[in-house]
A and B are shown apart, each in its own frame.
Chain A
């Protein structure tokens, strides 16, 4: 079937149609105004929410029904063959039956799998796989009783990545730097921004 690739008339038509077409001078402003009016969908709300540093305060009373706290952590670093933003922002503590659940969020666009490992699960990279919630966005909820925990992210089943925005553990249990999250009391962990 001829596709007329080489037809000079078609080539001239295509060339004419490739010329730049001007836009109204205020086009960008109108688009961004419309974007601001558009209700953001879940990821934006989640991100806006997790961006805010907040206090972690878990009450042992009242069935631990009160939510309390956030650990915010951001990691921006090199990944594979090209640099990419990796960010972990943090950790909402919400009501649960017996222990508050901490939500870990990790941004790793190049990863095919991410898991959370820490001293709360015996550093077992298979026990807490993270779910892909969006482009490169990984999350997992972990019930954690008030206390201090060490953790790291396990990318593609082999690479342990600490969180540079979180406090580093003084001892390196796993032969690689790990991070610390504190749940309970008036602990406060604040992160930077993307």
Chain B
């Protein structure tokens, strides 16, 4: 895969049966995907499985990618749905499962303050899943509400409300921790 090869070209090559082209799409979109899935599901194994499942579904449904140049947005929609399904199946929200092996694997690049990261993950886990999803799409993925509405199928006022409530809740959960941590 050439670095400058557009997603649309890779999609078309993959449709022609070129597995290397699809591998190029995996390499290009896995980073954002695992970041979102990890924040949604809170467990590295679950996140990887959701991401793998999303890639396989994307491959099988590649014909449905009507705008190949926007493969990333199309793929994120699939991933959001996989995370919803997986999250609902294991009743996300009560608490996140700690995967020690995954945590160890993830320790080095996870920033300089693992305790702060843990507090954030704990707070995220206490959010309503729809609020968590909206918060991540808006504040972490940097999406506009119009794009979020297309991706989630929710109306913009509802998305704004979810984001606001997520922020309010996170502030309550994290403010005290932050006050202690930051003099």
Contacts and interface: CB of A to CB of B under 8 A. Distances in A.
A63 to B, nearest CB: 34
Contacts of B130: none
Interface string B7-46: 0110111011111001100110011001100110000100
A97 to B, nearest CB: 30
Contacts of B8: 84, 109, 135
Contacts of A39: 60
B138 interface: yes
A14 B35 CA distance: 12
A84 B48 contact: no
Contacts of A84: 8-9, 12
A17 B175 contact: no
A19 to B, nearest CB: 5
Interface string A1-43: 1111001011011101111111110011011101110111111
B174 A13 contact: yes
Contacts of A10: 139, 167, 170-171
A35 B54 CA distance: 11
Given A9-B175, A41-B63, A135-B63, A51 B17 contact: yes
A47 B52 contact: no
Count class of interface residues, chain B: 35 or more
A40 B15 CA distance: 10
A141 B140 CA distance: 48
Nearest to B110: A19
Contacts of B30: 23, 27-28, 31
Contact of B167 (A7, A38, A41, A87): A7
Contacts of A136: 12, 68
Nearest to A37: B56
B153 interface: no
Contact of A16 (B9, B55, B109, B111): B111
A3 B15 contact: no
Given A3-B163, A10-B139, A21-B35, A51 B16 contact: yes
B164 A32 contact: no
The interface centre, meaning the residue of A10, A24, A34 with most chain B CB atoms within 10 A of its CB, is A10
Contact of A35 (B12, B19, B31, B136): B19
B170 A31 contact: no
Given A2-B164, A13-B174, A19-B110, A43 B15 contact: yes
Given A19-B111, A41-B63, 16 more contacts: A1-B164, A3-B160, A4-B168, A10-B170, A16-B120, A17-B35, A20-B31, A21-B47, A23-B48, A31-B55, A32-B23, A35-B55, A51-B17, A107-B12, A109-B12, A135-B62
Interface of A: 1-4, 7, 9-10, 12-14, 16-24, 27-28, 30-32, 34-36, 38-44, 47-48, 51, 84-85, 87, 107, 109, 134-137, 194
